[in-house]
Copies of this chain bind each other. A is one copy, B any other.
């Protein structure tokens, strides 16, 4: 990152914004990204990527038809993995890895996404030594392409109901893979459609007439030379999606397809040559990988929202529309209070989510260390936190991106803005890796199964809770919020407010659950009838974490230049949450009407304070034009001439005369003339 983002030839409005900022962008960037050294490395990686001719992107990806886009993503993926070791520290996936990939691949997946992110770790964790020897080389050398096939057409999160079967035949020492129904068709795996010739396939294991539940197999699907599907395998692309269309998500069916015994992963469970099943020693292995993906997702989602808000703030600084003071010229739309309320909370969210991602990563590393020592103490905590955050963060990210887009009016609807790409990519996060409502119910189930056990201990005053849940057992909770005005409110008070709301709702949902257990015939039905309140409890629990974690994280910053900015954004995050959270904060008079009105006044005052620094703050997110891929969000603010250039390049303008005209409109007009 340069000392300043101001260059000659920039739009004058955006330059003025940068000149008026009260802090140096470089300082805030260093704090946001975890230190000057990391910002320096980002620049180094960026420069290296820019220098590499194979990593150049020739044409805007949004101009490509789906098959062209798929091909372009494959080209980039090969180039990216070819030169990766020269450019980044491959062991730092969470940091350099994500950044490097986002510079090259944009908002899409590619032919090698699952090969690296799921198959490689699965083989490292679940293959026995012999299998490791056989499989690891080809995976790393990329002499095969593999994916992970679990979800089926009729079955998502409920693993136990998968229908694909693997039946062992001791005579030939083979498994017979079979898709007995239409709903057994494997569906969704990335890169399965056209790219992969191998897949880890989850199938119900049957041996010696007995069922042993779902197990993974490493299965060859296509011929190594011709790439044609093997006999007994039907495979293809599942068709266009809302987004992520560079990826060939696929379907897969087996018709009594035979595979050797040693294709079953055998580090844990085993099937012996005679068909004897040897169960795994530990049931919950492989759990960490899913959690890792969700942890990565939280950072990724934060960066998507960060891109969107960078684009929207920069564009709002150069767009002029309407007059606030008559005859004094059109104003920057960033000056409208309504525009500020749409945008600035997204800046706060980006940071809150990013700091949460850092915390989850740390927790993940602690858990990994613990697990190596056989200690599973923190695992449920990590599972709960990552699932809950994944839900709240992906949902608020998606909503935030759409607010950014809508705030840019008509040009936001154009793909030149990049918003359609960002939204359709990011909102997928609400669904994959665990549908959000299912996740929230899991958090609730975990918290409440815990609570069922500990609620009596809480009420007896003997509860022993973790850092994340201890507030629930607060012995003397406040009954009135201490909030008087935005200037005086402390981080502790705001955290206490969110903990109040979460605690109230957790107890409310718990009591309702107990009541419903007396009204419905099974505990499961009572659980279902409490579902909405339980989700709400999980959500508030996560939000309390986000607020607490934000202020904890920024408490590390003692720099008088940037700390006030971080405090303003933190307060905005909290007050916006309280104002939007409504009755969860006013229950039992915890917040009075007057306090609520003062919260809103506090928000308006924060919007005014943040306004002069808004452009500089989003500059500090450190997105290059290459990552943003947005005409509206250009660093230089020269939007209009580049919108025109972008439009003129688009394939519809290759010829002045369209096929639609030649084939349909011209005959119609000719006929029309003959009638005149």
Contacts and interface: CB of A to CB of B under 8 A. Distances in A.
Interface of A: 62-63, 65-67, 70-71, 73-75, 77-78, 82, 111, 137-138, 141-145, 151, 153-158, 161, 182-183, 185, 187-188, 193-195, 197, 227-229, 236-242, 248, 251, 319-326, 330, 335-339, 341-342, 398, 402, 405-406, 409-410, 412-416, 419-420, 423-424, 427-428, 430-432, 435-437, 441, 508, 522, 524-525, 527-533, 535, 581-583, 586-588, 593, 596-597, 600, 604, 640-641, 643-644, 646-648, 650-653, 656-661, 663-673, 675-676
Contacts of A593: 583, 586-588
Contacts of A604: 529, 532
Contacts of A158: 321-322, 330
Nearest to A587: B593
Please give the count of copies of this chain that the complex contains: 2
A168 to B, nearest CB: 26
Contacts of A338: 437, 441, 531-532, 535
Contacts of A525: 324-325
B251 A71 contact: no
Nearest to A589: B593
Contacts of A239: 62-63, 414-416, 646-647, 650, 652
Given A239-B414, A531-B336, A524 B325 contact: yes
A427 B641 CA distance: 27
A74 B647 contact: no
A416 B242 CA distance: 10
A322 B410 CA distance: 43
A227 B62 contact: no
Given A144-B669, A227-B666, A342-B437, 15 more contacts: A62-B240, A65-B65, A74-B664, A75-B660, A141-B676, A142-B671, A145-B669, A161-B321, A185-B644, A195-B661, A237-B650, A251-B644, A337-B532, A341-B532, A413-B431
Nearest to A222: B656
Contacts of A663: 71, 74-75
Nearest to A82: B668
B409 A325 contact: no
Contacts of A320: 154
B237 A337 contact: no
Contacts of A508: 597
A70 B658 contact: yes
Nearest to A535: B338
16 contacts: A74-B664, A78-B664, A111-B660, A138-B676, A141-B673, A143-B673, A145-B665, A185-B640, A227-B657, A236-B648, A236-B653, A240-B650, A324-B527, A326-B524, A413-B428, A532-B604
Indicate the member of A144, A153, A529 with the most B CB atoms within 10 Å: A153
Nearest to A424: B420
A421 B361 CA distance: 37
A406 B604 CA distance: 33
A251 B643 CA distance: 10
Nearest to A440: B338
B194 A661 contact: yes
Nearest to A596: B583
A414 B241 contact: yes
Given A67-B659, A651-B67, A183 B78 contact: no
A324 to B, nearest CB: 5
Nearest to A342: B437
B524 A71 contact: no
